[in-house]
Structure formats: C-alpha cells, structure tokens
Homo-oligomer: A and B are copies of this chain.
Amino acid sequence: MNKETLLVIKIGGNVIDNESFLDSFLKDLSAIQQPKILVHGGGKLATQLSAKLGIETQIIDGRRITDAETIKIVTMVYAGLVNKNIVAKLQANSCNAVGLSGADAQLIQAHKRNHPTIDFGFVGDIDTVNHQFLQTLIADKYTPVIAPISMDKNGLLLNTNADTIASSVALAMSSAFKVKLFYCFEKKGLLSNVNDEKSIISSIKINDIQQMIDNKVIIDGMIPKVQNIKYAIQQGVDSVCLCHASNLLDISRESGIFGTTFYNE
C-alpha cells in the first residue's frame, strides 16, 4: 500500500526572529495542502527576555545551559509566545494549527541529559514520541506545531534541540507515512563551492556522504547535521531536504530545484 506523504518542517531563528519573513513563511506553509507538522526552535526571544530579567545565559559547545530560571523562560517563550504566535498566524491563513509542547499528551518523552563532563541542566534527550496523538490530529486535518520543550517521566520540563525533535517526530511518523523532512536554514542548500551561493547540490545519496566528508565538500558544523540526516533516512524517513524557508512552497510543488535533498539509493 502506498503511504500518504507527510511533511515535517523545522524552522529556526532566521525565520522566527524576522516577523515579516515569518508571516510570509507561514502563508506559504498554509498553502501546502498535504498533511504537515511544523517544529520550531526558540530564536533570540528567550535570550532577550533573560537579559531583561538579569538572568545570564550560559552557552557551552553551542548548547544553552538551562538552569531552573532559564527553563521557566524558555517554557514561557517557546511554548507560550512563539508557539501561540505561530498558531494564530496559521489560523489567520486558514490553516487549522494546534500548538503543542512535548509535555502535552506526553508528545516528546525524554530524560535529563547525562553527560560525563558538562551539566547541561534542564536539557532533555528524546526517548519516544506519541505518534498516535499526531496521527489523530492529522487525520482530523489539524496541523501540529511543536515547541522545543520535552518532558521526562516525572513531569520535569526539559529544553530540547528543535532539530532533534524534528528528526524524532519524522522517524516516529515513518511507520504510517512517507515522511519528507525539511530543515529550513540560512542557506538555499548545501554548496559544492562554499564561495558560490548558486552552487547548490540538488540531491545526495546517503551512501555518498562519507566520500563528500572525505573530499571536504561537507565540512565543520554540517558534518554532524548530515550524519543525523543519514541516520534518519536509514531508519525510515523517506527524504530529508536542507533548504531556505522562502523556497518551501516551490519545493512542496516540486516546481524546480531548490535545496539539497538527501535520499536512499
């Protein structure tokens, strides 16, 4: 039986922090008629609010350290302000969105990160996703909008990387859907020449990834990202696309080459 296609789309700060771009992105998203799930990051608002309240934000290895005050801030900002703002804008575009955190319906069950040298504080690593709940919402034509907050089995709210939530959701939905995962980032795709913004690689077979790392086509911070993409596809996600949020509608309509799509042989 052919599975129905489901789009899982992740946006981060470069969309969330730019209100007019966020508006146009959400208008595009609303125009997509296929079932879809939006996962959003937090953007700069939490850091700005922490600064106004005199709470210092600690970052180690690019990861936010989440102390007791900061988990309150990110819960407010991510699951409250950002999530409901996105939901309201989607509703204004006739997209029937439902905003969720990982606590709601035990959507994203996680455990507090156990790291040998760094105490990340209230940071969660994902165990399971309640895919039945998402399937029910999608069957009823709702569009889930997921904030990057998870919860452990004792009801502890945890700050969680939105990229990881997106891939965990994509994986969990793969048994029921043909899942296409989109990571919207600041570029239009993976470049074959880092100095030429037009040199977008349109598609990559996951078996070619190691060679591209060896040849230094995939470098630095892109290496773990691409390794995660490879893992997601190996585990059942149909394809993963690295793209710019402004091209999402074109990509969904398959009306040209935008972004870099990773797929299995």
**In the complex, A168 has a CB within 8 A of chain B:** no
Interface size for A (C-beta < 8 A) is 40
A79 CB to closest chain B CB (Å) equals 5
**In the complex, A92 has a CB within 8 A of chain B:** yes
Query: Would you call A75 and B84 a contact (CB within 8 A)?
Result: yes
A61 CB to closest chain B CB (Å) equals 27
A6 CB to closest chain B CB (Å) equals 19
**How far is B149's CA from A152's CA once the two chains are assembled, in angstroms?**
27
Kindly identify, within residues 88 to 123 of chain A, every residue whose CB is under 8 Å from any CB belonging to chain B. Answer: 88-93, 96-101, 103-106
B-contact bits for A48-92, CB 8 A (1 contact / 0 none): 000011000000000000000000100111111101110111111
Query: Would you call B84 and A149 a contact (CB within 8 A)?
Result: yes
Which applies to chain A's interface (DSSP): helix, strand, loop or mixed?
Answer: helix
**In the complex, A206 has a CB within 8 A of chain B:** no
Q: A80-B80, A91-B103, A133-B140 are in contact. List 18 more A-B contacts (CB 8 A).
A: A72-B81, A75-B80, A75-B85, A77-B80, A79-B79, A84-B101, A84-B157, A87-B103, A88-B151, A92-B155, A93-B155, A96-B105, A96-B106, A98-B104, A99-B100, A99-B101, A99-B103, A99-B104
Q: How many copies does the complex hold?
A: 2
Q: A76-B81, A96-B106 are in contact. Are A155 and B91 (CB under 8 A)?
A: yes
Query: Would you call A154 and B103 a contact (CB within 8 A)?
Result: no
B-contact bits for A14-47, CB 8 A (1 contact / 0 none): 0000000000000000000000000000000000
Most buried by B among A80, A97, A136: A80
14 A-B pairs in the complex with CB atoms less than 8 angstroms apart: A52-B53, A72-B81, A75-B84, A84-B101, A84-B103, A88-B151, A88-B156, A90-B155, A91-B103, A96-B106, A97-B104, A98-B100, A99-B101, A105-B142
